[in-house]
Amino acid sequence: MDLESFFISRFSDLHIGDDGAYIDGFVYSKDAFFENVHFKTAWMSHYQIAQKAMIVNISDAIAMHAAPKYALLSVAMPKTITREQMQELACGFSDTAKKYGCAIIGGDTISNTKLDITVTIISQTKKPLRRSGIKEGYLIGHTGRLGNSKKDLQKLLRGGRIHKRSKFVNTQLRRSFVEKSIRLLRAGMDISDGLFSDLGKLASVNRLGFSFLQKIPKHIGCSGEEYEILFAIDPRDKKALLQHAKATRTKVTFVAKAARKKYIHRCKSHHF
């Protein structure tokens, strides 16, 4: 058990374990986006920083088939920040929230030595997509292409530059795919810590392992911050799922089948 999992296991509330906590028709989720941990200000404009801070949080709502309704922001800013940079942050938050139909209703701001952001999203759903619900033989798949987020991060760490459409700074969420396919999806979550790591979370919740359909290179399986949808379906629904994927112009790749076996992932933890 890694340190993150150990800490989370210290809390026994039944609402913990999905991308957000589902309570009485609402989903509550919260993620941090901290300078020198998740980004450097040399890599992104303040608008892009705020935009991604919102996106990584809204991703949890989308992954649970929930509509974002409200957001609470906590922003710790260095004293050296300019009014122009503050304005960029505000616009990045506001524009992204508006795009997903979400209202910013409050939060907190404090002085800090660097730029640290946390966002709480309150979303609503009548049919939440949970991580549990996988049975032996179910197909496991994901949307989009994996691996580019880690590759672009490595470029940035080496002092290089990345394309303005890079997933690292321009993350696109799969809302239409989830909405169209919800009746077929038996379980799901977003890929934030990497395919192999997030498969480990599904394995733990469902007490199953996976038989891979093909070998997945480590640079793809360990690439975090992809924010694609990792999902499970009954094999009988594969044809219908692929039709929904085509209708929403979503690339889908099936990677494994759920099996009665132990699952071990060998990626380095993203958090500790």
| Res 245: pLDDT | 98
**pLDDT confidence of 16, banded at 50, 70, 90?**
confident
Does the pLDDT at position 4 exceed 70?
A: yes
Say what the pLDDT of residue 1 is. 64
Residue 226 has pLDDT above 60, yes or no: yes
Sequence-ordered list of residues with C-beta below 8 angstroms from that of 267, at least 6 positions apart, any chain:
194, 196, 197, 218, 221, 222
pLDDT digit string, tens, across residues 229-269 = 999 999 999 999 999 999 999 999 999 999 999 998 878 77
Reported in sequence order, the residue ranges of 194-241 that DSSP labels E, i.e. its strands, are: 209-212, 229-233
The residues of the chain that CATH labels 3.30.1330.10 are 19-124
Chain mean position to CA 269: 16
Contacts of 84 (CB under 8 A, 6+ apart): none
Q: Is the pLDDT of residue 215 over 70?
A: yes
Residue of 171, 187, 263 lying closest to 224 (CA atoms):
171
Q: What percent of the chain has pLDDT over 90?
A: 82
pLDDT of amino acid 13? 72
Confidence at residue 271, expressed as pLDDT on a 0 to 100 scale: 59
What is the edge-to-edge ordering of all strands in the sheet holding 252-259? 187-190, 229-233, 139-143, 252-259, 209-212
Q: How confident is the model at residue 12 (pLDDT cuts 50, 70, 90)?
A: low
Start-end of CATH 3.90.650.10 domains in the chain: 139-259
The CATH H-level superfamily of 139-259 is PurM-like C-terminal domain (3.90.650.10)
Determine the Cα angle at 146 with ends 3 and 187, to 5°. Answer: 65
Q: Using the 8-state DSSP alphabet, how is residue 223 labeled?
A: -
**Tell me: the pLDDT tens digits for 74-86?**
999 999 999 999 9
The 10 Å Cβ neighbour count of residue 170 is 14
Confidence of residue 181 (pLDDT cuts 50, 70, 90): very high
For residue 236, the model assigns a pLDDT of 98
pLDDT score for 272: 55
Q: What is the pLDDT of residue 107?
A: 95
How confident is the model over 151-175, as pLDDT tens digits? 998 998 899 988 888 988 889 999 9
pLDDT of residue 105: 98
How far is Cα 162 from Cα 165, in angstroms, rounded to an integer?
Answer: 8
- For 92-116, write each residue's pLDDT tens digit: 999 999 999 999 999 999 999 999 9
Percent of the chain whose predicted confidence (pLDDT) is above 70: 97
Q: Give the Cα separation of 186 and 238 in Å (integer).
A: 12
Q: What is the mean pLDDT of residues 32-40?
A: 94
pLDDT for position 267: 83
- Mean pLDDT of all residues in the chain? 93
CA neighbor of 166 nearest in space, from 179, 150, 182, 181: 150
Residue 36 tokens, joined? 């020198």
Does domain 19-124 sit in CATH 3.30.1330.10? yes
